Protein backbone atom coordinates (compact mmCIF):
# COMPACT_ATOMS: atom_id res chain seq x y z
CA UNK A 1 0.00 0.00 0.00
CA UNK A 2 2.88 2.31 0.78
CA UNK A 3 4.24 1.89 -2.73
CA UNK A 4 0.91 2.77 -4.32
CA UNK A 5 0.69 5.92 -2.21
CA UNK A 6 4.20 6.78 -3.33
CA UNK A 7 3.16 6.55 -7.01
CA UNK A 8 0.11 8.75 -6.46
CA UNK A 9 2.23 11.20 -4.47
CA UNK A 10 4.59 11.47 -7.42
CA UNK A 11 1.70 12.35 -9.76
CA UNK A 12 0.46 14.93 -7.25
CA UNK A 13 3.88 16.50 -7.12
CA UNK A 14 3.92 16.77 -10.87
CA UNK A 15 0.56 18.53 -10.71
CA UNK A 16 2.06 21.05 -8.32
CA UNK A 17 5.04 21.49 -10.64
CA UNK A 18 2.66 22.12 -13.51
CA UNK A 19 1.04 25.00 -11.60
CA UNK A 20 4.40 26.54 -10.74
CA UNK A 21 5.91 26.27 -14.21
CA UNK A 22 2.73 27.11 -16.14
CA UNK A 23 2.72 23.85 -18.11
CA UNK A 24 -0.61 23.31 -19.82
CA UNK A 25 -2.80 20.33 -18.91
CA UNK A 26 -2.42 18.60 -22.28
CA UNK A 27 1.37 18.68 -22.07
CA UNK A 28 1.29 17.49 -18.47
CA UNK A 29 -0.83 14.44 -19.39
CA UNK A 30 1.37 13.71 -22.40
CA UNK A 31 4.60 13.79 -20.38
CA UNK A 32 3.15 11.57 -17.66
CA UNK A 33 1.88 9.02 -20.19
CA UNK A 34 5.23 9.00 -22.04
CA UNK A 35 7.04 8.40 -18.76
CA UNK A 36 4.84 5.45 -17.78
CA UNK A 37 5.10 3.97 -21.28
CA UNK A 38 8.87 4.35 -21.28
CA UNK A 39 9.15 2.35 -18.05
CA UNK A 40 6.63 -0.28 -19.26
CA UNK A 41 8.62 -0.72 -22.47
CA UNK A 42 11.77 -1.34 -20.42
CA UNK A 43 10.00 -3.86 -18.15
CA UNK A 44 8.01 -5.79 -20.78
CA UNK A 45 10.05 -5.16 -23.93
CA UNK A 46 7.12 -3.28 -25.53
CA UNK A 47 4.28 -0.96 -24.48
CA UNK A 48 2.11 -1.48 -27.58
CA UNK A 49 -0.54 -3.65 -25.86
CA UNK A 50 -0.85 -1.36 -22.82
CA UNK A 51 -3.38 1.42 -22.29
CA UNK A 52 -2.23 4.25 -20.02
CA UNK A 53 -5.07 6.46 -18.80
CA UNK A 54 -4.12 9.62 -16.91
CA UNK A 55 -6.50 11.16 -14.39
CA UNK A 56 -4.76 14.46 -13.55
CA UNK A 57 -7.80 15.84 -11.72
CA UNK A 58 -7.73 12.85 -9.36
CA UNK A 59 -3.96 12.74 -9.26
CA UNK A 60 -3.66 9.10 -10.33
CA UNK A 61 -3.05 6.86 -13.32
CA UNK A 62 -4.72 3.64 -14.59
CA UNK A 63 -2.78 1.06 -16.62
CA UNK A 64 -4.41 -1.80 -18.54
CA UNK A 65 -2.73 -4.72 -20.30
CA UNK A 66 -4.59 -6.10 -23.32
CA UNK A 67 -4.10 -9.89 -23.55
CA UNK A 68 -5.29 -12.62 -25.92
CA UNK A 69 -6.98 -15.58 -24.16
CA UNK A 70 -5.35 -18.90 -25.24
CA UNK A 71 -5.93 -22.53 -24.18
CA UNK A 72 -4.20 -23.67 -20.98
CA UNK A 73 -0.59 -24.65 -21.56
CA UNK A 74 -0.31 -22.75 -24.88
CA UNK A 75 0.94 -19.37 -23.62
CA UNK A 76 4.03 -18.54 -25.76
CA UNK A 77 4.20 -14.78 -25.03
CA UNK A 78 3.10 -13.90 -21.47
CA UNK A 79 3.30 -10.16 -22.30
CA UNK A 80 0.53 -10.52 -24.91
CA UNK A 81 -1.25 -13.77 -23.93
CA UNK A 82 -3.04 -15.26 -20.92
CA UNK A 83 -4.35 -18.80 -20.35
CA UNK A 84 -8.09 -19.39 -20.14
CA UNK A 85 -7.91 -20.55 -16.51
CA UNK A 86 -5.83 -17.51 -15.41
CA UNK A 87 -8.27 -15.13 -17.08
CA UNK A 88 -11.32 -16.82 -15.53
CA UNK A 89 -9.73 -16.92 -12.06
CA UNK A 90 -7.67 -13.71 -11.93
CA UNK A 91 -7.66 -12.71 -8.21
CA UNK A 92 -7.90 -8.99 -9.02
CA UNK A 93 -10.38 -9.02 -11.91
CA UNK A 94 -11.77 -12.50 -12.77
CA UNK A 95 -13.84 -13.02 -15.94
CA UNK A 96 -15.54 -16.47 -15.63
CA UNK A 97 -17.39 -16.00 -18.96
CA UNK A 98 -14.35 -15.36 -21.14
CA UNK A 99 -13.47 -17.80 -23.91
CA UNK A 100 -10.43 -18.76 -25.96
CA UNK A 101 -9.68 -16.22 -28.72
CA UNK A 102 -11.27 -13.29 -26.89
CA UNK A 103 -9.41 -10.25 -25.56
CA UNK A 104 -8.88 -9.95 -21.84
CA UNK A 105 -8.06 -6.58 -20.25
CA UNK A 106 -6.02 -6.88 -17.10
CA UNK A 107 -5.67 -3.90 -14.76
CA UNK A 108 -2.06 -3.29 -13.73
CA UNK A 109 -1.12 -2.05 -10.27
CA UNK A 110 2.10 -0.26 -11.07
CA UNK A 111 3.15 -0.09 -7.40
CA UNK A 112 3.36 -3.90 -7.30
CA UNK A 113 6.36 -3.79 -9.62
CA UNK A 114 8.41 -2.58 -6.69
CA UNK A 115 10.53 0.32 -5.60
CA UNK A 116 12.94 -0.05 -8.52
CA UNK A 117 10.17 0.54 -11.04
CA UNK A 118 8.95 3.54 -9.05
CA UNK A 119 12.49 4.98 -8.99
CA UNK A 120 12.88 4.36 -12.73
CA UNK A 121 9.60 6.17 -13.34
CA UNK A 122 10.67 9.12 -11.19
CA UNK A 123 13.98 9.45 -13.06
CA UNK A 124 12.30 9.22 -16.45
CA UNK A 125 9.71 11.79 -15.44
CA UNK A 126 12.35 14.14 -14.00
CA UNK A 127 14.35 13.92 -17.23
CA UNK A 128 11.32 14.71 -19.39
CA UNK A 129 10.35 17.60 -17.11
CA UNK A 130 13.85 19.05 -17.39
CA UNK A 131 13.75 18.79 -21.19
CA UNK A 132 10.33 20.40 -21.14
CA UNK A 133 11.64 23.26 -19.01
CA UNK A 134 14.59 23.81 -21.32
CA UNK A 135 12.38 23.77 -24.42
CA UNK A 136 10.02 26.28 -22.81
CA UNK A 137 12.87 28.61 -21.81
CA UNK A 138 14.47 28.44 -25.25
CA UNK A 139 11.17 29.10 -27.06
CA UNK A 140 10.23 31.97 -24.76
CA UNK A 141 13.53 33.84 -25.00
CA UNK A 142 14.12 33.08 -28.69
CA UNK A 143 10.96 35.05 -29.42
CA UNK A 144 12.26 37.86 -27.19
CA UNK A 145 15.54 38.43 -29.04
CA UNK A 146 16.10 42.17 -29.29
CA UNK A 147 13.74 42.91 -26.39
CA UNK A 148 14.60 44.74 -23.17
CA UNK A 149 15.02 42.67 -19.98
CA UNK A 150 16.09 43.33 -16.39
CA UNK A 151 18.02 41.05 -14.10
CA UNK A 152 19.66 41.06 -10.70
CA UNK A 153 23.41 40.53 -10.50
CA UNK A 154 23.85 37.07 -9.00
CA UNK A 155 27.46 36.21 -9.81
CA UNK A 156 30.40 38.22 -11.17
CA UNK A 157 33.18 36.56 -13.14
CA UNK A 158 36.13 37.93 -15.05
CA UNK A 159 34.62 37.39 -18.51
CA UNK A 160 30.88 37.65 -17.80
CA UNK A 161 28.17 38.46 -15.29
CA UNK A 162 25.32 36.11 -14.34
CA UNK A 163 21.94 37.81 -13.95
CA UNK A 164 18.67 36.34 -12.69
CA UNK A 165 15.35 37.71 -13.94
CA UNK A 166 12.14 37.76 -11.88
CA UNK A 167 11.47 34.10 -12.76
CA UNK A 168 15.03 33.09 -11.79
CA UNK A 169 16.02 32.46 -15.41
CA UNK A 170 19.77 32.84 -15.97
CA UNK A 171 20.95 35.65 -18.25
CA UNK A 172 24.62 35.99 -19.25
CA UNK A 173 26.16 39.43 -19.83
CA UNK A 174 29.61 38.88 -21.42
CA UNK A 175 32.40 41.41 -20.92
CA UNK A 176 32.36 42.42 -24.60
CA UNK A 177 28.63 43.20 -24.32
CA UNK A 178 29.14 45.56 -21.37
CA UNK A 179 29.66 49.32 -21.72
CA UNK A 180 33.36 49.95 -20.92
CA UNK A 181 32.53 51.99 -17.82
CA UNK A 182 29.93 49.50 -16.49
CA UNK A 183 30.58 48.45 -12.90
CA UNK A 184 28.21 46.29 -10.88
CA UNK A 185 27.92 44.75 -7.44
CA UNK A 186 26.00 41.65 -6.45
CA UNK A 187 22.30 42.39 -5.97
CA UNK A 188 22.19 45.38 -8.35
CA UNK A 189 19.59 45.49 -11.14
CA UNK A 190 20.87 45.57 -14.73
CA UNK A 191 18.97 46.43 -17.89
CA UNK A 192 20.00 44.97 -21.25
CA UNK A 193 18.56 43.52 -24.47
CA UNK A 194 18.50 39.85 -25.38
CA UNK A 195 21.25 39.62 -28.01
CA UNK A 196 20.82 35.94 -28.88
CA UNK A 197 19.73 32.58 -27.47
CA UNK A 198 22.00 29.58 -28.04
CA UNK A 199 20.79 26.00 -27.57
CA UNK A 200 23.76 23.64 -27.78
CA UNK A 201 22.90 20.09 -26.66
CA UNK A 202 19.45 21.26 -25.53
CA UNK A 203 21.05 23.57 -22.98
CA UNK A 204 19.67 27.08 -23.64
CA UNK A 205 22.02 29.98 -22.98
CA UNK A 206 20.57 33.52 -22.97
CA UNK A 207 23.12 36.17 -23.94
CA UNK A 208 22.23 39.80 -23.16
CA UNK A 209 23.89 43.01 -24.32
CA UNK A 210 24.23 46.65 -23.31
CA UNK A 211 26.38 47.60 -26.31
CA UNK A 212 23.86 46.58 -28.98
CA UNK A 213 22.19 49.28 -31.09
CA UNK A 214 18.91 47.60 -30.15
CA UNK A 215 19.57 48.53 -26.51
CA UNK A 216 19.50 52.21 -27.47
CA UNK A 217 16.35 51.66 -29.55
CA UNK A 218 14.51 49.97 -26.67
CA UNK A 219 15.50 52.69 -24.20
CA UNK A 220 14.05 55.34 -26.50
CA UNK A 221 10.86 53.28 -26.88
CA UNK A 222 10.65 53.15 -23.09
CA UNK A 223 11.26 56.87 -22.51
CA UNK A 224 9.43 58.37 -25.52
CA UNK A 225 5.71 57.49 -25.67
CA UNK A 226 5.44 58.70 -29.27
CA UNK A 227 7.96 56.04 -30.36
CA UNK A 228 6.17 53.35 -28.35
CA UNK A 229 2.87 54.37 -29.97
CA UNK A 230 4.34 54.37 -33.49
CA UNK A 231 3.95 58.11 -34.10
CA UNK A 232 7.73 58.48 -34.32
CA UNK A 233 9.91 55.87 -36.00
CA UNK A 234 13.61 55.22 -35.38
CA UNK A 235 15.06 54.91 -38.88
CA UNK A 236 18.75 54.40 -38.09
CA UNK A 237 21.05 54.00 -35.09
CA UNK A 238 24.83 54.10 -34.75
CA UNK A 239 26.77 53.90 -31.50
CA UNK A 240 30.19 53.59 -30.04
CA UNK A 241 29.20 52.27 -26.58
CA UNK A 242 29.96 54.57 -23.69
CA UNK A 243 31.29 57.30 -26.00
CA UNK A 244 28.80 58.66 -28.51
CA UNK A 245 25.72 57.70 -30.49
CA UNK A 246 23.61 59.08 -33.34
CA UNK A 247 19.96 58.25 -33.91
CA UNK A 248 17.82 59.29 -36.88
CA UNK A 249 14.09 59.68 -36.25
CA UNK A 250 11.07 60.46 -38.41
CA UNK A 251 7.51 61.46 -37.53
CA UNK A 252 4.40 60.30 -39.36
CA UNK A 253 2.50 63.22 -37.88
CA UNK A 254 3.48 66.69 -39.18
CA UNK A 255 2.39 68.20 -35.86
CA UNK A 256 5.06 66.27 -33.97
CA UNK A 257 8.69 67.40 -33.91
CA UNK A 258 10.50 64.04 -33.69
CA UNK A 259 13.79 65.47 -32.40
CA UNK A 260 12.06 67.62 -29.79
CA UNK A 261 9.90 64.72 -28.64
CA UNK A 262 12.93 62.47 -28.20
CA UNK A 263 14.93 65.06 -26.30
CA UNK A 264 12.04 66.18 -24.12
CA UNK A 265 11.50 69.44 -22.24
CA UNK A 266 14.91 70.63 -21.06
CA UNK A 267 16.30 67.25 -22.12
CA UNK A 268 14.20 65.37 -19.55
CA UNK A 269 13.64 62.30 -21.72
CA UNK A 270 17.11 61.89 -23.16
CA UNK A 271 18.89 62.51 -19.84
CA UNK A 272 17.58 59.24 -18.42
CA UNK A 273 18.90 57.35 -21.46
CA UNK A 274 22.27 59.10 -21.25
CA UNK A 275 22.60 58.10 -17.57
CA UNK A 276 21.70 54.47 -18.38
CA UNK A 277 24.40 54.46 -21.07
CA UNK A 278 27.08 55.81 -18.70
CA UNK A 279 26.97 59.37 -20.08
CA UNK A 280 27.09 58.31 -23.72
CA UNK A 281 26.63 61.50 -25.78
CA UNK A 282 23.57 61.11 -28.05
CA UNK A 283 22.85 63.16 -31.20
CA UNK A 284 19.22 62.99 -32.37
CA UNK A 285 18.66 64.09 -35.98
CA UNK A 286 15.77 64.22 -38.43
CA UNK A 287 15.83 61.41 -40.98
CA UNK A 288 15.51 62.19 -44.69
CA UNK A 289 15.58 60.10 -47.87
CA UNK A 290 17.81 62.73 -49.46
CA UNK A 291 21.29 61.22 -49.00
CA UNK A 292 23.10 64.57 -49.33
CA UNK A 293 20.97 66.19 -46.66
CA UNK A 294 21.12 63.09 -44.45
CA UNK A 295 24.94 63.10 -44.56
CA UNK A 296 24.92 66.83 -43.87
CA UNK A 297 22.76 66.33 -40.78
CA UNK A 298 24.75 63.29 -39.65
CA UNK A 299 27.99 65.31 -39.68
CA UNK A 300 26.48 68.04 -37.49
CA UNK A 301 27.68 70.31 -35.91
CA UNK A 302 30.05 70.75 -38.88
CA UNK A 303 28.77 72.93 -41.76
CA UNK A 304 29.39 71.37 -45.18
CA UNK A 305 30.34 73.32 -48.29
CA UNK A 306 29.96 70.62 -50.97
CA UNK A 307 29.07 66.92 -51.16
CA UNK A 308 29.90 64.62 -54.07
CA UNK A 309 28.00 61.35 -53.97
CA UNK A 310 28.62 57.99 -55.57
CA UNK A 311 25.28 56.40 -54.71
CA UNK A 312 26.09 53.12 -56.46
CA UNK A 313 29.19 52.49 -54.33
CA UNK A 314 27.81 54.29 -51.26
CA UNK A 315 30.71 56.72 -51.14
CA UNK A 316 30.65 60.43 -50.29
CA UNK A 317 33.29 63.12 -50.65
CA UNK A 318 32.55 65.99 -48.28
CA UNK A 319 34.23 69.39 -48.66
CA UNK A 320 34.35 71.79 -45.73
CA UNK A 321 36.02 75.04 -44.81
CA UNK A 322 39.28 74.38 -42.93
CA UNK A 323 37.85 75.41 -39.56
CA UNK A 324 34.95 72.94 -39.98
CA UNK A 325 37.05 69.87 -40.73
CA UNK A 326 37.90 69.03 -37.10
CA UNK A 327 34.20 69.34 -36.15
CA UNK A 328 33.23 66.91 -38.92
CA UNK A 329 35.85 64.38 -37.88
CA UNK A 330 35.22 64.80 -34.15
CA UNK A 331 37.33 63.77 -31.19
CA UNK A 332 39.12 60.52 -32.00
CA UNK A 333 37.27 60.40 -35.34
CA UNK A 334 33.99 59.50 -33.58
CA UNK A 335 31.75 61.96 -35.42
CA UNK A 336 32.66 60.88 -38.93
CA UNK A 337 32.73 57.20 -37.96
CA UNK A 338 29.20 57.40 -36.54
CA UNK A 339 27.95 59.46 -39.50
CA UNK A 340 29.22 56.73 -41.85
CA UNK A 341 27.49 54.00 -39.85
CA UNK A 342 24.26 55.99 -39.61
CA UNK A 343 24.00 56.90 -43.31
CA UNK A 344 25.54 53.75 -44.77
CA UNK A 345 28.00 55.83 -46.80
CA UNK A 346 31.78 55.74 -46.60
CA UNK A 347 32.60 59.40 -45.98
CA UNK A 348 35.87 61.13 -46.89
CA UNK A 349 36.45 64.68 -45.65
CA UNK A 350 38.42 67.30 -47.60
CA UNK A 351 39.37 70.93 -47.00
CA UNK A 352 37.52 73.17 -49.45
CA UNK A 353 40.35 75.30 -50.91
CA UNK A 354 40.13 76.30 -54.57
CA UNK A 355 43.09 77.11 -56.80
CA UNK A 356 42.77 80.88 -56.42
CA UNK A 357 42.46 80.65 -52.69
CA UNK A 358 39.06 82.36 -52.73
CA UNK A 359 36.89 81.73 -49.72
CA UNK A 360 33.39 80.38 -50.10
CA UNK A 361 30.37 82.20 -48.66
CA UNK A 362 27.50 80.61 -46.75
CA UNK A 363 24.07 81.21 -48.30
CA UNK A 364 22.82 82.72 -45.04
CA UNK A 365 24.96 85.77 -45.90
CA UNK A 366 22.61 86.48 -48.85
CA UNK A 367 19.36 86.79 -46.89
CA UNK A 368 18.98 90.42 -47.98
CA UNK A 369 18.98 89.43 -51.67
CA UNK A 370 17.55 85.88 -51.62
CA UNK A 371 14.38 84.96 -49.74
CA UNK A 372 15.00 82.78 -46.64
CA UNK A 373 12.68 79.98 -47.81
CA UNK A 374 14.69 79.69 -51.04
CA UNK A 375 17.93 79.49 -49.06
CA UNK A 376 16.42 76.69 -46.93
CA UNK A 377 15.29 74.82 -50.05
CA UNK A 378 18.84 74.98 -51.43
CA UNK A 379 20.34 73.87 -48.12
CA UNK A 380 17.91 70.94 -48.00
CA UNK A 381 19.38 69.60 -51.24
CA UNK A 382 22.92 69.83 -49.79
CA UNK A 383 23.89 73.30 -51.10
CA UNK A 384 24.91 75.36 -48.09
CA UNK A 385 27.37 77.74 -49.77
CA UNK A 386 27.50 80.00 -52.81
CA UNK A 387 30.11 77.92 -54.63
CA UNK A 388 28.11 74.75 -54.05
CA UNK A 389 25.13 76.32 -55.78
CA UNK A 390 27.26 77.66 -58.63
CA UNK A 391 28.83 74.24 -59.19
CA UNK A 392 25.43 72.50 -59.30
CA UNK A 393 23.79 72.11 -62.74
CA UNK A 394 20.97 74.62 -63.34
CA UNK A 395 18.49 71.85 -64.20
CA UNK A 396 19.21 70.09 -60.92
CA UNK A 397 18.58 73.28 -58.94
CA UNK A 398 15.22 73.69 -60.67
CA UNK A 399 14.19 70.09 -60.10
CA UNK A 400 15.53 69.23 -56.65
CA UNK A 401 14.88 72.59 -54.98
CA UNK A 402 11.51 72.85 -56.78
CA UNK A 403 12.19 76.41 -57.99
CA UNK A 404 11.06 78.38 -61.04
CA UNK A 405 13.60 78.91 -63.85
CA UNK A 406 13.56 82.70 -63.38
CA UNK A 407 14.17 82.27 -59.66
CA UNK A 408 17.19 80.00 -60.25
CA UNK A 409 18.62 82.41 -62.85
CA UNK A 410 18.26 85.30 -60.40
CA UNK A 411 20.01 83.30 -57.64
CA UNK A 412 22.90 82.39 -59.91
CA UNK A 413 23.28 86.02 -61.02
CA UNK A 414 23.40 87.24 -57.40
CA UNK A 415 25.99 84.69 -56.41
CA UNK A 416 28.20 85.19 -59.49
CA UNK A 417 28.16 88.94 -58.91
CA UNK A 418 29.55 88.44 -55.43
CA UNK A 419 32.66 86.68 -56.74
CA UNK A 420 33.08 89.00 -59.74
CA UNK A 421 33.42 91.91 -57.39
Total-model pTM: 0.67
> What is the distance between the alpha carbons of residues 209 and 217, in angstroms, rounded to a whole number?
13
> What is the distance between the alpha carbons of residues 359 and 341, in angstroms, rounded to a whole number?
31
10 Å CB burial of residue 163 (0-12, 13-18, 19+) is buried
The model's pLDDT over 24-36, given as tens digits with 9 standing for 90+, comes to 667 777 888 888 8
User: What residue ranges of the chain have pLDDT lower than 50?
Assistant: 1-8, 20, 355-356
Q: Which of 241, 286, 279 is nearest to 262 (CA)?
A: 286
3-state secondary structure of 94: coil
Listed in sequence order, the residues at least 6 apart from 191 whose beta carbon sits closer than 8 Å to its beta carbon are 148, 149, 150, 210, 219, 276
| pLDDT value at residue 63 | 86
**How far does CA 94 lie from the centroid of its chain?**
62
Please name each of the domains of the chain with its CATH number: 2-139 (3.30.1480), 150-211 (2.40.50.140), 363-420 (1.10.150)
DSSP annotation of 86: H
| pLDDT value at residue 9 | 53
| pLDDT value at residue 130 | 82
Q: What is the dihedral of CA 277, 280, 281, 284, to 10 degrees?
A: -40
**3-state SS track over 323-364:** HHHHHHHCHHHHHHHHHHHHHCCEEEEEECCCCCCCCCCEHH
What DSSP element (H or E) covers 298? Answer: helix 291-298
Do 367 and 373 meet the contact criterion of CB atoms below 8 Å apart?
A: no
> What is the distance between the alpha carbons of residues 223 and 204, in angstroms, rounded to a whole number?
31
- Distance (Å) of CA 323 to CA 301, 305, 350, 417: 12, 12, 11, 26
Do 347 and 299 meet the contact criterion of CB atoms below 8 Å apart?
A: yes
The model's pLDDT over 137-149, given as tens digits with 9 standing for 90+, comes to 999 999 999 999 9
Complete DSSP assignment for 223-275: H-HHHHTTSEEEEEEEEETTTEEEEEEEESSTT--HHHHHH-GGGHHHHHHHH
Amino acid sequence: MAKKDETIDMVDRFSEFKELKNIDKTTMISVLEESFRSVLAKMFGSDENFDVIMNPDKGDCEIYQNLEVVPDGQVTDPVKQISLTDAQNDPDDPDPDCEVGEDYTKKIDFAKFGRRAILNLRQTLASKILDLQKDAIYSKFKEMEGELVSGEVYQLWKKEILLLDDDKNELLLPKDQQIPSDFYRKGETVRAVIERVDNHNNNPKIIVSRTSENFLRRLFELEVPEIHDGLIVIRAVARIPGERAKIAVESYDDRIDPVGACVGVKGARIHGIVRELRNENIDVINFTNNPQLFIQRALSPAKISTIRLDEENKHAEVFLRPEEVSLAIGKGGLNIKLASKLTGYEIDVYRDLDAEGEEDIYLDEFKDEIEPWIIEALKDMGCATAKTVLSTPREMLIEKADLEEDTVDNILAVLKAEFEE
